[in-house]
Structures are given as C-alpha cells and as structure tokens.
Structure 1
Amino acid sequence: MSVATEPEPGPETGATTDRRLREPGTPPRSLVVLASLALAAGTGAALWILPSGAVRPARAQRPIHVPPAPVAPSPTPSAVGRPGPVTRPSGFVTFVDAARTPSFAPPETSAPGRAHWFTLGHLTAGGDGCTPVWSGRDRDLSPARRLEALRAAGGEAGLVFGGPGRELAATCTDLGRLTGAYRRAVSAFDAGYIDFELGGRDGGATVLRRAAAIASLQREAAATGRTLTVSFTLPADGDGLSRADQEMLRMTRERGAEISTVSLMVPIRAGQGRRSHLRPIAAAVRAAHPQIVRSLGGTGTRCRIALSPFLTGAKDLTTTDARKLVAFSTRKGMAWLSTRGATPSWSVSRLLVGLTH
C-alpha cells in the first residue's frame, strides 16, 4: 500500500499548502499542539492535588499480573485457635512435662523433616483458683516463642489441662474468669488443639462450667475462620469408661462443646508372665467404643478413639511391645497414639515416633 507524501512547503507557501491539504473539519496543527499541552498541564495538576494515599498511574511499562489477595476475616481480641488445617493430632503424640522441662525443645527422637505432634502439660489451677500454671506450681506460662523452631520444622503442639492437681473448672466458679483462663493459655501458645485429662471426679456444676467455656472458645475460633480441636483423655480398663466419665462426655456435648476424640488412658505394667500386658488395651478399646458413641451422640465413623497407655516406669514398654502397639493402633484406625506417666526409653520412643497416619 503506497502512502502519499506531502510536498515540503517553501518558506513563503507553507501555510497556504497546509491549509490546502488539510481535510475539511480538521483543526489546524497549531491548535492540536496547544490542546495537547493544555491536557498535559491539567493532568499534572490533577495528580498534584490527589491525596497522599491515592494510587497514581505509573509510567507506561509492560503490564504485570497481580493475583487477588485472599480475603480473611479480621481477628478479634478474644479469638483463639491457630489458623490453618493442622489442628488435629496424628501419628505419635509426645507428652512433655512442661513443669520439669520449662526450656522445651523437641527430643532427639523427632525425625527430621517429618511433622510431629507434642502436648504440653499439665495446666492446673494456681493459688487463686483461676490462673493457669504448670502442674500447680506458681510458674507463669512460658511464651510461645519456645515453639517457633518446632513449628518451623513442620511440627505442632497442643496443651493439656488437668492431670495431677486441681483442674481450673473445679476451682474457678466464675464462668467468665474460667473462660478467660483457658483463653489466656491457648493464646499464649497460639494453640489449635487442647486436651483435658480428667479422672471422673468432677461434679455436675464443674462439668457444665467447663463445657460452656469450651463451647465459647470454639465459637470465638470459628468466628475468625479458625478451629479449636478439643479431646478428653480418660482412664479406661476392661470395662471401658466409668459411668461418671460417660455422663461427663454427654453433658459436655449437649452444652455445645465439640469433642473430636476420646483418648483412653489404660495402665500397663511389665512382669505379668507370658501373658501379654497389652491385652488390657484391646479390651478397653472394645468396651469403650460403644460407650463413646452413645455419649457423643454420633455413629461409629464419627467417633474417634486414641490411645494413651499409662506407664509406671520406662521398662513397662519394651521395643517388642512398641511394635505391637503401633501395629494395633494402625490396624484399628486409632486417631493417634501417646503415653502418659513415665517416659518411655529412647529406643521405644524411636519406634513410636515412626508411627504416621
């Protein structure tokens, strides 16, 4: 396609030639130039008077695609629970006596590069009855920064209320203060999981206070898009759970608290001849399963059972026992496996930590 070339005007005929070649209705070139200058000046003035927070157009450059940022609800001061999906323990859960080991660090049995769960306990009532302390000692809660290295490595930790000593719900009779005490501990460790280790000795008023406080914390967490997972660790034997603990679970559920798991704390002891001392665990699971289903008002698939054998000494669990315990837990689909009481030997702990779901 050929393009017509405008003849170069002479010094005395340029203006005349420009008017002759310009199409009708087209403004003179001088007016176009003046209008362009005026537009640039007006734009500069407009940008100059924009407020400092306004976004000003950038210079022309290659467009950059920026994906939209996810919209998350704003947290409230009372919000508890840690964001993210990892709020339910799995595999082997190592119990740490925080009162004896205040400078908590993951034990050497932790497999590098593998997510591993810990529970820190026991949180009980302090002198005033409404302050959470470690195992009844007047030692304040340690800051959550102790867990930063653990979480950076892919691990996670929860808190255990109760155990030996006074449980907060039994001593703190004011519901608001009780809820605040639980909230303080959960917030201090940014915990998304808490456990209550109880022994069936709580009265109805204590059960209802604890249930109401748990339900309140779970609602606060849900309001900010978080999850606060709650479990109960209860003593069990060949007959399953005590009637008092079954009733406690039912009352807690009916009060609005969501219980994800019940962990059976079954005592085992070595030195019982050739008969396996792990048989009480299997018997406890068989007996407790229908009891938990009835107490939590669900079906067999909704109820989750975990195992927390109670050891009186490190020799109560041998490496052979540990292998059998891991195999049983895997075969029965237990939610997780843990131990309470005495700390297992290093070799046993290595085998138990190898349990993954």
Structure 2
Amino acid sequence: MSSTRRLSPVRVTLAAVVALAVVAGGYVGVDRWQSAQASETVTPWFAAYTDVTVTPTFPFEDVKSPKGRDVMLSFVVADHDQACTPTWGAAYGLQEAGDQLDLDRRIARLEQQKGAVGVSFGGLANDELASTCTDQGKLVSAYQRVVERYDASTVDFDIESDDLTKTDAGKRRAEAVAALQEQRRGAGHPLAVWLTLPAAPGGLTADGTKAVSQFLDAGVDLAGVNAMTMDYGNSKGSSQSMYSASVETLQQVHRQLGILYTRAGTPLGDRTLWHKVGATPMIGQNDVQDEVFTMSDAVKLNAWARQTGLGRMSMWSLNRDTTCGSNYVNLSTVSNSCSGVDQDGKLFADVLGKGFGGGILAASGDVTKAEPSSTTQPSDDPSTSPYPVWDQDSAYLEGTKTVWHRNVYEAKWWTSGDLPDDAVLSSYETPWQLVGPVLPGEKPVAPVSLPTGTYPAWSGTTTYDTGDRVLFDGTPYQAKWWNTGDSPEASTSDPDGSPWTRLKDSEVREVLHDVQSGEAAPSGSGH
C-alpha cells in the first residue's frame, strides 16, 4: 500500500496464477486440528492506515469518530542514501518528521484523545529496511529506534512488490524482528507483530507464504497476517462483488495459515486461526478501474468478519475516508484524499470498525500457544455418503465427486492417489475442490446413466470417428479421435492415451432431458 499505489509485479503475476484458483474457489481441505477458543484476553481491533507523507498532510490527530482514534502510521522505509537509516517514505528522517510534520506532537495529541498508533514498515513505493540494510545488528537497531521513539506496542510489516521476492532480505527481516520482539518482551514492553501481504481469492502468493514461514521459523510470535483485500485484477470473477472476493480471499488465507502453523510445529484451532487473520480493503475506487469497494461491501464484510471472528480490520486509508468534492471530476482515477464514491455522510471507518473494540494496545500481550491436535478423523460410511468414498487406487475423471472425511470433493482434472484434503498452500496444487460437508440423512446418489438405445452400444469391431458417442454398460462416451477396438473402459485409467472420454454428468443430464422430451438423436446414430 502507498499513496501512489499501482499494480505491482507480484499482483500481476498473482492475477495470472490465481485465475484458475477462482474457478476452484473455497477451501481445499479440512481443518485437521481441534477447534479452540482464541485468547479471551484479546478483543478484535480496528485501526485504519494513514499515509504520513502524502500531500496534503492528513490531520489524523483531528479525530472524526471514535473508530478513527487508532491509526497505523505508514510507511517507515530505508533512506535512499543510508541503507540502515529509517525514514518516513524516504522523505523525512524520524527527527525531520518531528520538526517539519510535527509528527511526535500530533501523536501526543491523538493519545490525549485515548487514541493509539502502530507503525507500518514497508509499503509499495520504497525499500523496506531489510531489503537494503545487510548488517543484522544495524537492522535490529533501526527497527528498535522506530519502536522506541513512538512507543509502539504494535508494528506491521507491509511486504510487497520486490521486497517480497528477496529471500535473503526476508530472512534478515524475520531474524531482526524476532530479536526485537525478544528485547521488548524482556523489557516489559511486549510487541505485537503483523505481516501485511498481497492476497487474492486464491490466497497468499508463494512468496507470501514463504514470508510467513520465515517469520515463524525465526521464532517471531506473529500476532497475525493481514490480507490486502484489494486490486484483485483477473483473479476476481467479472461478476463477483468486492465483498465476495474478499471473503473468498480471507477463507484461503485462514486455510493457509493453518498449514503454515502446523508445519512450524504449532498447530492451532479454527477460532485461534481466525483471530490471526486481518483484512485491509482499499475503500472506494481501487487501483484497478473496474474494482470499487462500496459502502455496501463494507457493511457486509464487517458483518461477516464479526461473525467469523476475524482478529483485525483495517483499511486503506484514513486519508481517503470522505466523498470527493465537486472539483474532483474523474472518480475512476484513485485519489489520495477521497474515496471516489458517494459515502452519504458516512465514514468507512465507522462501518468497517463496528464491533472491533480491542484497540491497538490490546493485542501486544497475546502469546501464541500450540493447541492439542485431533487424533481421529471423521469416518465415512458408504451407506450415508452421497458419492463413493475416496479410494487411493481408483482413478477419477474431471467432474467426478467423492466423499472423504465427511466432505464432498469434486475432481478438477483426472486424478489418482491424490488425497482430497491434502494440506496444500495453493488451491491450484490439488486436483480436488471442496464442495461442502455430507449432510445429515444423505444416501448414495444414483449414478446418472442413459437408457439403452440412446446411443449405439460400443463394439470392438466398429470403426468410430471423432465425436461419435456410444454406451458402455449404460455409461455414455465420446470419441476424441478415430479408433477401432479401443474399449472406453480404459479411459478411466489412461485418460490421455484413450480415444474415449466419458460424458460429464451435466452433459448426461442434458441428453437425458432430450430423451425424455423426444429430442434425442436417433438410436442408430453414433453422435
């Protein structure tokens, strides 16, 4: 996020990769761990980002509503000439910001009104300190200077674009943050650490999940991962609302966090994981011209987040939380000082922050603890399962449904031996899409078949041309190319090599409808 946001290379790559994941949608697995109550001492909190260096200067200390009292100040980055020196937006040193922007005084004024500030490092437009500062000791000192100057109890690392792709910098950052967090805890000033990362309906990118793993491996006690629910590009369905895309994104991030914590040796329950998920929409007009996060989207996202137990809600940005004036004509172009939508006198901060009452200071003492894992999985009974129970030795064609651990999955492509609930980080890594749970009272669904005579029965001596259809044990198949003597039965075990492909259930139902209405092809026709 930045005052001059644009689609970063990470997001462009993500859009291309995740396009398939949108089709998959939903979860790709079952939470293997016992659902546990998140820490009762911590309440979900709301804090909007504000751009410290944008022009005109935004008076965050002039609080418009109680929900605007907690602010994430953005962004601390490396100085262009001194790699280990922290600055605000590469434009002001910490002291310069105090002198020229009255930043320290304005923070004090906010605190007089019972507000608090957190500090966000990184953003899109400049280099996060770890990307340029290669001296580990100096990097820790740089972070420490910022935290101590502003007495921050919560820090946020907004890692995107080139900063997110640099593995060595990511490792330095994680180790420095772990050291800083240990220092602060030892001094009696616990520090909550959040990672803010690009996300889309397919979840975090591979670089994003790597960043989380680096923090966990280094020993950082992550307060959570804040997903940038914005600028989806091609990864959002053309008719999909921003609310729907955001929910899908957050569901995937929640699933990925479960896997990452389990791999790190700290299995967490469902509710605790939701407590570690944050959302940051870009209010109003997004950088992608066709994407507009409306007040209606905000109302629905807030309601969903509160019901789900999301740990944090933010927004980009407090600077933009107002209807544009009449002098701002082109609303489809992003403004740094207004939202681009008619807010009808309301504030996005009030709508998104409703019910998030914990505040920035509340989360700093939260400590992550492993939770007991479930040793048993739900058993599957064929007599109460709508589809056959998954078998590792069976082959499944695209569109085939199966039941595993009391959930229904559908094959996205031909597969054999792939666990439906395999713990993959990205949905495109698995051939299975979770459809939903087995419902109480369900019975096996009768397989869709066609009556004898709909198509000719397959014969080993008949020559078939491309597009010809036959019945084999009541199941319809279509020829992919000219063939003779090739049994359709072989297509289940060798779909690529077989000249036959089984018709999908949806196609069979269409043919069956035509048969029943008298519109089917004559029984003597092969297609």
Please tell me the TM-score bracket, short chain as reference.
0.5 to 0.7
| Distance (Å, rounded) in 2 between the aligned partners of 1:223 and 1:253 | 19
Task: Report what 1:344 is aligned to.
Answer: 321
In the alignment, is residue 109 of structure 1 matched against residue 31 of structure 2? Answer: no
In the alignment, is residue 98 of structure 1 matched against residue 62 of structure 2? Answer: no
Code of the residue aligned with 2:144 in structure 1: it is R
Task: Report what 1:152 is aligned to.
Answer: 112
Question: Residue 354 and residue 340 in structure 1: after superposition, are their counterparts in 2 closer, same or farther (change >3 A)?
Answer: same
Question: Residue 219 and residue 103 in structure 1: after superposition, are their counterparts in 2 closer, same or farther (change >3 A)?
Answer: same
Task: Report what 2:90 is aligned to.
Answer: 136
Contact 1:168 1:178 in 2 (8 A): yes
Question: Residue 330 and residue 89 in structure 1: after superposition, are their counterparts in 2 closer, same or farther (change >3 A)?
Answer: closer
* TM-score between the two structures when normalised by the length of structure 1: 0.68
Per-residue CA shift, 1:189-231, capped at 9, x if unaligned? Answer: 1111100001263322211211111111111111122211000
Query: 1:160 offset after TM fit, Å?
Result: 0.4
Matches within 5 A, 1:110-259: 110-111=65-66, 116-126=69-79, 127-141=81-95, 142-143=97-98, 144-164=104-124, 165-199=126-160, 201-259=164-222
Contact 1:317 1:348 in 2 (8 A): no
Query: 1:115 offset after TM fit, Å?
Result: 8.5
Question: Residue 265 and residue 182 in structure 1: after superposition, are their counterparts in 2 closer, same or farther (change >3 A)?
Answer: same
Contact 1:115 1:154 in 2 (8 A): no
Matches within 5 A, 1:280-291: 280-291=245-256
Unmatched runs of 5 consecutive residues or more in structure 2: 1-40, 99-103, 324-345, 358-527
| Distance (Å, rounded) in 1 between the aligned partners of 2:353 and 2:64 | 7
Query: 1:185 offset after TM fit, Å?
Result: 0.8
Query: 1:184 offset after TM fit, Å?
Result: 0.8
Out of 316-325 and 140-149, give the one that drifted further.
140-149
| Distance (Å, rounded) in 1 between the aligned partners of 2:68 and 2:64 | 12
Question: Residue 281 and residue 115 in structure 1: after superposition, are their counterparts in 2 closer, same or farther (change >3 A)?
Answer: closer
| Distance (Å, rounded) in 2 between the aligned partners of 1:279 and 1:89 | 25
Query: 1:171 offset after TM fit, Å?
Result: 0.2
Query: 1:260 offset after TM fit, Å?
Result: 0.8
| Distance (Å, rounded) in 2 between the aligned partners of 1:234 and 1:89 | 22
CA RMSD of aligned residues (A): 2.9
Query: 1:179 offset after TM fit, Å?
Result: 0.7
- CA radius of gyration, larger in: 1
Matches within 5 A, 1:249-328: 249-267=212-230, 275-296=240-261, 297-299=266-268, 300-303=270-273, 304-311=276-283, 313=285, 316-328=292-304
Contact 1:265 1:340 in 2 (8 A): no
Contact 1:89 1:336 in 2 (8 A): no
Question: Residue 295 and residue 194 in structure 1: after superposition, are their counterparts in 2 closer, same or farther (change >3 A)?
Answer: same
Task: Report what 2:440 is aligned to.
Answer: none
Task: Report what 2:308 is aligned to.
Answer: 332
Query: 1:108 offset after TM fit, Å?
Result: 4.2
Question: Residue 273 and residue 253 in structure 1: after superposition, are their counterparts in 2 closer, same or farther (change >3 A)?
Answer: closer
Task: Report what 1:48 is aligned to.
Answer: none
Query: 1:301 offset after TM fit, Å?
Result: 3.7
| Distance (Å, rounded) in 2 between the aligned partners of 1:353 and 1:289 | 20
Unmatched runs of 5 consecutive residues or more in structure 1: 1-86
Query: 1:245 offset after TM fit, Å?
Result: 1.4
Query: 1:319 offset after TM fit, Å?
Result: 2.4
SS class of match (2:82): coil
